[in-house]
Structure 1
Amino acid sequence: MKKYTILIFLLLLITLSSTAQNKSKKPDMPWDNGKLKVSDNKRYLQHENGTPFFWLGETAWLLPSRSNREEVDYFMNATKNNGYNVVQISVLHTVSAINAYGDWALPDGFDFRNIDKRGEYNYWQHVDYIVERARQSGIYIGIVCVWGTPVQQKQMTVEDARKYGKFLAERYKKYPNIVWLIGGDIRGDVEPEVWQALATTIRGMDPDHLMTFHPRGRTISSTWFNNEPWLDFNMFQSGHRRYNQRNGDGDYPIEENTEEDNWRFAGRSLAVSPLKPVIDGEPSYEDIPHGLHDVNERRWQAEDVRRYAYWSVFAGSFGHTYGHNSTMQMLRPGYQPSFGAEKPWWEAVNDPGCREMKYLKNLILAFPFFERIPDQSVIVGANGLQYERVIATRGNDYILVYNYTNRKVEIDMTKISGAKKKAWWYSPVNGSVEYIGEFGNGRQVFAHDSEYRAGNDRVLIITDADTSYVEENLMTVNSQQ
């Protein structure tokens, strides 16, 4: 009897230990936390179990048409190592799209009944491979269904859009790592019936994946589709122009000399009712000419892509998408480069701006996520214009301030809880944290003891002295990378 009691006791201990380990074990993949959804406050994305999702996107529009399987493997590994959790691709960049294996996307037009033939590895099976390979890496795929140009050229009718949407939804709704991007660098009032047919067809067959619209430069999806039930969150494309650069592609529906102020788009979108989350889905790409079209122009650098990222997120965006001139077109020897791109994409994924984006994600996830709001009242006195603009965001007991030029800035620390405050400098370049000191409540002037210049950017972190977000979260995760 005693042996039997001991055996039961040991089995109970093993069961309790196993249960505790299962509870403490983190999910292997993001979607193990449940599907993505809009947060209750309509500002962010989260998983069904409440886990925050900070969208950090990499742009690889031509991955389906310009990559083989080995290159997909390399790209996904590099993208995961760089901290990205979303890749934006264009699966039908042209109606006559053909991939690296010589397979056509639409061999029978928009008739997909015989698209998969026994023994063939076709265009869409290669797209399947990309989605599956991303799934194995814990990465979401933002699928631009068709680029705007062929639609604008009337190469897709409303009926074509319905057939195509049905094909896409049936093929990809089974994957947990899909986000639908209707549009593709186009205004929503260009062939709107086609976009509506595509979106409503996919949503009717796949209600479980989020959907948005990827618009033309300097425009926001909320302009046309904010009231549409299929639009879960808004996307804007701040574009590739510098201040006062009026020439180039597309329309110019923004204020004078504000071309680089992507923070304006975030605020504008969040002011529209009904409130929906917003993101900059295409800011200036690293190593692309200012304004795109003149290859002799200056190129956007790492400091520029950092500025776009922090400005947008601190102004209220729920994440950010980065891009590189070479990677977005998957440039490699044998392909004609666009926009003056020079290096192959496998070198571009090691460029500074590409590797530095993860420090923004680490920063935001180190603090209470859903309570964070943009709050410029934290900054005392007049703010600067253009590169002098300082952007602030805060929660109940923390403040984050992005300063691109390292100019002196006065902060009202009474905006958060705590009789005493602690402050740090955070580097967007390498994620390092530098302790400043402890302060009483009130106003305090801050400036890093390095030079004043554009691109000498830092984030000022201020917390209630009783918190330990920086020590327990931020320092830990950055030390592991």
Structure 2
Amino acid sequence: MGICRRVGGVLNRCGLVLLCWMIFSQAFPASDNNHVKPLRVSRQNPHLLATENESPVFLNSFTVWKLLRNGSREDVEYLLTDLKRKKLNAISTIALDLELEELGKNYYGDYAFQFNEAGLPDPLQPIVTLGNDPQSPEEYDFWDHLDFVIAKANEMGMYVVLHPAWGDWFTGEYNGKPNRFIIFNEENAYKYGFWIGRRYSEARNIVWMVGGDRSAVYGKLDYRSVFSAMGRGIADGVKGGAGEKDPLISFHPRKWAPNSSEWFHDEPWLSFNSIQDTPYDQVTSVPNDYGLSPVKPTWLCEGRYEGPITDWGVRYQAWQTVLSGGFGHTYGSDAWQFPRDNWRQYLDLPGLTQMGYLYYAVREIWSDKQFLGRTPDQGLILGDQGETVGDGNTRGDGDGGGASASRKDGRSDRITAMRGDDGSWAMVYTAAGKEFRLDLGKLKGRLKAYWFNPATGKWWVDGVETADMRPFQKGIKAGKGDMTFDPPGNPGNENDWVLILRR
């Protein structure tokens, strides 16, 4: 039986022209040193993700679409170390990415697939060599590099949200116009999904994402069966190996188009829903997914990127999404390109650090029981709830989805609320420091009140910000009546605050 080897970065064919599945389906190496627990849809609260023992996990992801293409092993290790320090616990990336030059090539010059007669990657011919020594160009192939990313993330207690292929390869152009780069059909989408699912069936830290910034239907062009075929293939491949019974799989939609729930909510392979929206869209998208039956988790898998919008725009999109019921959040900036010469500059953006403050306030200060009992509840707010208008606090990017999204004065003074299902706590986000009145009849007991600054990660009390979680008021009697809360500072853009009430 023939195998394929690279010489000087070029693949030489030996023996058989096609690699058989047994050769190129070698599995991701099993590890006895798993630092993360596989995720499931929570049995106790199916709006959330949790480990097998029902410890809930808030997935806090960072977008690096071109990590494999432009990142070395050293880059990967530096990136993951920095993100972990900032309290992010996942990265979102792609195997066959969206670069349409040097198709499917990684940092080390290795290609993911052999090419067909049209000069396009053949998803049924992954290039896999014997061995995986990173010091040997003959051994260390494209898939070994992806193995390293996944294994290193696991070692650091982090997850990988993995797209087997970007949307171009399924539907063509962003607007749905077919082009020469469509390589997937139902048959090969299933087989490639099966292969990559089988290869990584031993990995415990992968969250799978089918699609990639594309709609499933463009007029008369319907690609739902192709995306579904890949989803089924991944599920069958993982379960056919030594993997988990039910791998987590979702679909990554494009902006200003129906989200995953529109096309795939009832599909058995779809574990959770995903949305990609601008801030004004999410006000309806997240609650829509949250209210569907059967219940499935939902989240913002791609939002507006910091740079085109300010860190305040990133913050209010994140907080409004999460308190509306999102099980996690994905942060983005131009780091998605992972430019080789200057990618580290994006780690210094303020919005990225502030996503760590988000994680701290929505997950770390709560017990597992409290987190599992979280329930979005706009009914907690009495009176005006404000609004979110436009495409975030936009820096003239012109990336509009209609008149409302294109406005450069994107803004929000919306108030978003969540509480514990037992009434023992509440969390309210005011995007522009607008005062609000709460229905205390929805809560119970005597509560303490805290102001949290999502821009600094500190607590406000007696006119001073402190790193210590200290209440600004105690002994609030819940169970009946209402109470007005006036955030620190003057109402206006950038002055967002989080109120926390708890026993």
Q: TM-score, length-normalised on structure 1?
A: 0.78
Match of 1:158 among 186, 189, 196: 186
Residue of structure 2 equivalent to 1:383 = 385
Summarize deviations over 1:74-112 as a string: whole Å, max 9, x none: 111111111111111011114721111111111252343
Residue of structure 2 equivalent to 1:233 = 272
Residue of structure 2 equivalent to 1:211 = 249
Residue of structure 1 equivalent to 2:438 = 411
Higher helix share: 1
**Amino acid of the residue matched to residue 331 of structure 2?**
Y
1:412-451 aligned within 5 A: 412-418=439-445, 420-434=446-460, 435-438=471-474, 439-441=476-478, 442-451=481-490
Residue of structure 2 equivalent to 1:19 = none
What fraction of aligned residue pairs are identical, expressed as a percent?
A: 30
1:181-260 aligned within 5 A: 181-189=209-217, 190-207=222-239, 208=244, 209-218=247-256, 219-239=258-278, 260=280
Cα separation, partners in 2 of 1:42 and 1:449, compared to 1, 3 Å: closer
Higher mean C-alpha deviation, range 93-102 or range 180-189 = 93-102
Over the residues paired in the alignment, what is the CA RMSD in angstroms? 1.8
Instruction: Give yes or no for the alignment of 1:278 onto 2:285.
Output: no
**Amino acid of the residue matched to residue 216 of structure 1?**
R
Instruction: Give yes or no for the alignment of 1:178 onto 2:206.
Output: yes
Residue of structure 1 equivalent to 2:392 = none
Residue of structure 1 equivalent to 2:27 = none
Cα separation, partners in 2 of 1:145 and 1:67, compared to 1, 3 Å: same
Summarize deviations over 1:428-471 as a string: whole Å, max 9, x none: 122212332123343221112312211111101112xxx3xxxx
Shift of 1:388: 2.0
Whole-angstrom CA distance in 2 between matches of 1:226 and 1:349? 35
Contiguous gaps of at least 5 residues in structure 2: 1-32, 116-121, 132-137, 173-181, 389-411, 461-470
Q: In the alignment, is the contact (CA less than 8 A) between 2:253 and 2:260 conserved in 1?
A: yes
**Amino acid of the residue matched to residue 198 of structure 1?**
M
Residue of structure 1 equivalent to 2:144 = 125
SS in structure 2 opposite 1:281? strand
Whole-angstrom CA distance in 2 between matches of 1:63 and 1:429? 28
**Amino acid of the residue matched to residue 349 of structure 2?**
D
SS in structure 2 opposite 1:363? helix
Whole-angstrom CA distance in 1 between matches of 2:187 and 2:157? 35
Q: In the alignment, is the contact (CA less than 8 A) between 1:37 and 1:48 conserved in 2?
A: no
Whole-angstrom CA distance in 1 between matches of 2:123 and 2:437? 60
Residue of structure 1 equivalent to 2:16 = none
Higher strand share: 2
Whole-angstrom CA distance in 1 between matches of 2:263 and 2:185? 20
Whole-angstrom CA distance in 2 between matches of 1:50 and 1:186? 33
SS in structure 1 opposite 2:359? helix
Instruction: Give yes or no for the alignment of 1:52 onto 2:56.
Output: yes
Cα separation, partners in 2 of 1:432 and 1:177, compared to 1, 3 Å: same
Instruction: Give yes or no for the alignment of 1:399 onto 2:426.
Output: yes
SS in structure 2 opposite 1:112? strand
Instruction: Give yes or no for the alignment of 1:323 onto 2:332.
Output: yes
Summarize deviations over 1:35-92 as a string: whole Å, max 9, x none: 4333333111111111111111111111111111111111111111111111110111
1:96-175 aligned within 5 A: 96-108=103-115, 109-112=122-125, 115-118=128-131, 119-153=138-172, 154-175=182-203
Q: In the alignment, is the contact (CA less than 8 A) between 1:213 and 1:234 conserved in 2?
A: yes
1:24-35 aligned within 5 A: 29-31=35-37, 35=39
Whole-angstrom CA distance in 2 between matches of 1:432 and 1:40? 31
Q: TM-score, length-normalised on structure 2?
A: 0.75
Whole-angstrom CA distance in 2 between matches of 1:126 and 1:180? 18
